[in-house]
Each structure stands twice: as structure tokens, then as C-alpha cells.
Amino acid sequence: MDPNAEHGVEPLDEDWSRLLAVVAHPDDLEYGAASAVARWTAAGKWVGYLVVTHGEAGMADTVPREAREIRRAEQVASAAVVGVRDVWFLDHPDGLVEYGPALRRDITRVVRRTAPDRLLTATERLTFGARQLNQPDHRAVALATLDAAKDAANRWIFPELAADEGLEPHAGVRAVLTMGSGAPTHGVDVTDWLDAGARSLRCHARYLASLGRPFDPAVFLRDMTAAGGLAMGVPHAVLLERFDTASV
Ligand SMILES: [Zn+2]
């Protein structure tokens, strides 16, 4: 029983042109959202990725200094598959990302630089979906990204960004979208984009091999988005929770 089905979701509006995705780890976007990214970039929208760590603690069989290079390269390759050429990495420590002003400032800096009208991140909730425990880096990055939508617009938050780096406020972020929420509000029909999504996820080949268990990206994405599709009334959908940023 899909708990989303009883709520139903609306198709996500597409009257925007620039989206910055902010995630904790290489691969966070490829477990579903990359199919939606493929759809958006094919429609001419700009999408950029900001990855807060290098995922260096994510490969049990590889020491962090080597893992970070592997995972960085895999992320850049997987982004290119779905039409994303702008990928930035911060250097927060994998597994130990701290929510706070430093992280908010690092994200705000890139929001001001890239002037998006949408942000995308993983859910800030304690769980992915209904029951699966979320990961602390995801929660920290999500909270800081939700905050950055407003921090970017406020001249008096992180004034050094304008004074020292010439990054003037950007008030154009109208909504933040989160992936993996147990209470999704919107969906993206990715029926025609599953293949691109699977190819993007396959780029994380060394990482996926390090997990030490069989994993088929195409099957995984097909099954996950089929569940999302039920809530939207299409064969395959990526579900998102949308937070609007209009001032109250
Ligand atoms: Zn992750």
C-alpha cells in the first residue's frame, strides 16, 4: 500500500528556467531525481549540481583519499549523461556534515552565483518515505538548503558575500523541492526518461561495485518510479515535496 496514493500529487509546474540541486553526496541525485533532471534539461532548462562532500567515507573497500577522486569523477560523468555540465563540490566531511551558518553560507554563495529559481535537495525529514531512516548529512544539507533560499535574498545575512566577493542578493528562489519525502506534494512524469536516469546511475560503477551486492540501476529506478507513478496517475514519476518561499 503506497501511503502517497491516498494524498495524490499534482504535476510539478514547469514555469521556471534554472534549478540548482544541492546534495550531500555523489549519487544522491541519481537514485531517482536524475530522470527528472534529464527531462528538464531536454526542455532547455539549466540545472546545476552542488555536492557538499566527496562521499569519501562511502566505499568500505577504498580509503577516503582515493574514494573521493573516484566519486568526484563518477558524479561529473553521471551529471553529463542528463545534460548537467556545471557541477561544484564543497569539502565538508562525509558523514559529519554539520548544519549551521558555515554550511548555509557555502550554499548561499552558490545560489547567489547561479541565480536559480528553484532549489532541489533530499528531504530534511528523519525518514526517507514512510519508514526508512534518513542519513544525517542529508538532513543537514536539506535544512541549510531550505534556509539558503531566503539567506540568498537577504543583504544582511552573510554581508561578506557582497562586500568581499561581489555576490549581490538573489531573491529569485521561488520554491525548494525535496526528494524522498514521506509527504510528497508534486510529481514529475519520467516515463520517457528512465533510460537516461539509469545510465546516469550506472556512472557510479566503482561505488556501486563497492557495495558488494547485485544492483541493477534500471530495475531499481523502474520499481521506485512505478510506485511514484501510482500517486500521479502516470506509469513512472519522481515525487517531490514543494516548499514555497513567498514572504509572509
Ligand atoms: Zn547520500
What is the distance in A from the centroid of ligand 1 to the CA of 58?
A: 9
Distance, CA of 245 to CA of 248 (rounded, Å): 9
Q: What pLDDT score was predicted for residue 155?
A: 96
What is the distance in A from the centroid of ligand 1 to the CA of 16?
A: 26
What is the distance in A from the centroid of ligand 1 to the CA of 188?
A: 21
What is the distance in A from the centroid of ligand 1 to the CA of 24?
A: 6
Q: Write down the pTM of the prediction.
A: 0.95
What is the distance in A from the centroid of ligand 1 to the CA of 141?
A: 10
**Cell numbers standing for residue 170:** 538573489
What is the distance in A from the centroid of ligand 1 to the CA of 27?
A: 7
Q: What pLDDT score was predicted for residue 144?
A: 98
What is the mean pLDDT of each successive set of 10 residues along the chain, which is 248 residues long? 59 96 97 96 98 96 97 98 98 98 98 98 94 96 98 97 97 97 96 97 95 93 95 95 83
Q: What pLDDT score was predicted for residue 10?
A: 94
Cα 82 to Cα 33, 42, 121, 126, 134, distances in angstroms: 10, 8, 17, 29, 26
Q: What pLDDT score was predicted for residue 73?
A: 98
Domains defined along the chain, listed by start = 5-247 (3.40.50.10320)
What is the distance in A from the centroid of ligand 1 to the CA of 217?
A: 16
Distance, CA of 137 to CA of 126 (rounded, Å): 11
